[in-house]
Structure 1
């Protein structure tokens, strides 16, 4: 199944196509949270460069947060609109789990995985997973000084780049191949108690 992934949870938009052989084709761009302006241009650019169109898509994966609330809403609205037209499955992906998946793919070992995303105001979004990518905790927002990094690996330990749409799509492929439950396309909103 060919997966189209959308990530607008950060300041930049990204889209990706994951094909049958896990080849990934990506485009990213835009800044200052201009997702609604840039997203469909990126999709059309991705399609034209790699000879894809909506009829070839088997499912859609979209980042549902945590992250930029405005960005997540823009990406989710776009994914829902595309879903209405092409009538293919639509999956929501927690950006913390997508980051943990990137770490999981890079690191072999038996350490827990701590996903961390900057939430501004000296706070972070975080979630803990075991080495098999099973959640140990729920997503939360905490002060960065309260972050427990003992006996775990983070994106900083492997010098991982930002999450982006390719990790969103690859995580969905991983979960589909193992018949794991995939989240609904519903915003994951964590209120910051520090502001």
Structure 2
């Protein structure tokens, strides 16, 4: 199976191509804006490096959030368009899963993935060392973080790590900081997607994934309406 994955949801842009479990091309760059203009050129570059075209793809994967409203729309729209035009299955992966996946944790450690959501809040999710979800993806105020954590030593990853480290240091909870990227990487997204295809048939991923919004978008339409409101 040849799978293309990409991410535009947070503070980076990345794309990767896997053939089975083997990565054959990938690109990653930190980027806080301009995802819409840069995504397809990056995808085309990655495919060229892999000596492949869109017609060679068997599946796609993309991040569904949490992330910025604009970034999520860019990635999901592109992934849905490619999947529809080529009749390909499309796997949705959360950004929290993506940053937790590369972390090497001991059997008794909990991987705590988090993003700084501003406004004294974080997006967060806890995972066992084997990747099993210990909590759902959450939007949590800093004052409530400690009460939402499972017990055990923690491994911190993501842009919310400095906030988490301050809270945990003050509480005396044992933790360490992962040496992996704090932003989603398409290579991890692709690995997660490949594992999901090993668990379910491709038909399970023919319906396009929905975005994961843990906070209502800040943007307003003319007249003050929320973009999520019905016309």
Fold agreement, TM-score > 0.5: yes
Determine whether 1:158 maps to 2:158: no
Shift in alpha-carbon separation, 1:55–1:108, aligned structure 2, 3 A: farther
Query: What is the TM-score normalised by the length of structure 2?
Result: 0.74
- Residue 34 (structure 1) aligns with: 34
Check 1:147–1:22 CA distance in 2 against 1; reply closer, same or farther (3 A cut). Answer: farther
Task: Summarize deviations over 1:124-159 as a string: whole Å, max 9, x none.
Answer: 100122233222221111123533365232226221
Tell me, yes or no, if structure 1 residue 177 matches structure 2 residue 175.
Answer: no
Is the Cα contact below 8 Å between 1:59 and 1:90 reproduced in 2?
A: yes
Secondary structure of 2:113's partner?
strand
TM-score by length of structure 1 reads 0.86
Supply the distance in 2 between the matched residues of 1:21 and 1:139 (Cα, whole angstroms). Answer: 26
> How far apart are 1:171 and its partner, in Å?
0.9
Partner residue of 2:211?
A: 187
- SS of the aligned residue for 1:125 comes to strand
Q: In 2, are the aligned partners of 1:4 and 1:15 still within 8 Å (CA)?
A: yes
Q: Unaligned 5+ residue runs, structure 1?
A: none
Partner of 1:11: 11
Gaps of 5+ in 2: 158-175, 217-231
Deviation, 1:40, is 0.5
Between 123-132 and 144-153, the greater mean CA deviation after superposition: 144-153
Residues 1:122 and 1:108: Cα distance change in structure 2 (over 3 Å): same
RMSD: 2.3
d(CA) in 2 for partners of 1:36, 1:165: 16
Equivalent in the alignment of 1:113: 111
Question: 1: CA distance between counterparts of 2:141 and 2:61?
Answer: 30
Task: Determine which structure has more spread, i.e. the larger CA radius of gyration.
Answer: 2
Q: What is the alpha-carbon distance in structure 2 between the residues aligned to residue 45 and residue 168 of structure 1?
A: 18
User: How far is 1:75 from its partner?
Assistant: 0.3
